[in-house]
Amino acid sequence: MTRPLSGLKVLDFSSVLSGPLAAGLLAEQGADVVKVEGPEGDTTRLIGPAKAGLSAMYIAANRGKRAITLDLKQPAAREIARRLVQQADVLIENMRPGVMDRLGLGPAAMRALNPGLVYLSITGFGPDGPDAGARVYDTVVQARSGFAAANPHPVTGEPMLLPATVCDKLTALTAAQAVSSALVARGRDGRGRHVQVAMVDAAVAFQWPDAMYNHVFQQDPPPPMPEFAAGQRPWATRDGFVATNTPQQAEFDAMARTLDCPGLSQDPRFASTPARMRHGRELREALTPRFAAWDTAPLVAALVEAGVPTGRVNRREDLAEDPQLRHNRTVVTVDQPGAGPVRLARGAAVFDGAHSPVAPAPRPGEHGPAVLREAGFDDAQIAAWIADGVLRVPAGG
């Protein structure tokens, strides 16, 4: 199968997660993505368990790419970068505003060099404004965007940070979709685009449909509802946990019958979705002992059979063995050179019934000479750049 983005060339100047994951999505869908790293390397190489200089996080975010290491502080390296940009379809960067301009690689200069270039800039807070120049990571965006406040501690009510880089990842999804849209537009008019995505904007937009629904109506607002899913937590069973959701009355009625408490459906506090939202604490008190009387497997089977949306809570170590995930081939094993077999989640999108292949991640600088040969440089020039430290290659070649 020819993947949708086959033939596209992407230069990935980004680091950590938001940009690399956006570029990784394009690679999964067929683009030839070249990761451009500085000599210090991507920060994710230092995060999490690692083998052969490759961390698990680095592998997951950069699989399927090729890699070149350039010391962009040197003029020759910047000239190499400009040559690569001339032949690229997409450039991705997530440096602080102004950094790429100071390197001579900013959007105006690069689009003048290559008018068809789609140039993606990911920032924390935007290209300008009072906080544009601040250093930003996922936790900062969780705080500023309302994520932490929307995830309060169930007892104290204090804001909590989600133990995942949720804002980086949703920014990557937003950015990859926007790049795809810019490529469609280029197909119509031949022009590239400068696509800008601020992490805080992506996170706020992501929050709006549910976590911000009490802040939508501005004139004569209706009475506020309890915060969305404020009491939504897994239910403890005898041997594990399950999660349910019953926004439709028929689903709630079926759950009540299965748990042998059909009278709940006639209780005015629980007789409609808005009523259940307002009386979430009482509903949890009523149902907690009912769930606790069951073992997980028969309970899930009974609820699913009754038409109740239900799922057992998988432990991380058991996730790959979930029967549906095994059927979907969601988790795959990939031979990562130097590190041996690694498990990765494949891209979720399936095109014409075919899964996109999952490739290993590159060692930093691994493909530098090959990429430069493709760009038209000869071996003598490449060797000179290696000797001068302009181009870095892995030890041993």
CATH assignment at residue 287: 3.30.1540.10
CA distance 27 to 127: 26
Domain final residue pick, 287, 312, 337? 312
* 246 and 181 within one domain: no
Counting as low any pLDDT under 50, the low residues of the chain are none
CATH code assigned at 362: 3.40.50.10540
End-to-end CA distance of the chain: 33
Whether 224 maps to a domain, the answer reads no
Q: Tell me, yes or no, whether 68 and 167 share the same domain.
A: yes
Contact assessment for residue 396 and residue 52, using Cβ atoms and an 8 Å cutoff: no
Q: Is residue 375 part of a domain?
A: yes
β-sheet bridge partners, residue 50:
55
The whole-number pLDDT of residue 396 equals 66
> Does the CA dihedral 386-390-391-392 come out positive or negative?
positive
Smallest Cα–Cα separation from 126: which of 49, 50, 203? 203
Yes or no: say if 255 and 290 are a contact pair by the CB < 8 Å rule.
Answer: no
Instruction: Answer with the one of 312, 347, 373 that is the final residue of a domain.
Output: 312
Total domains in the chain come to 2
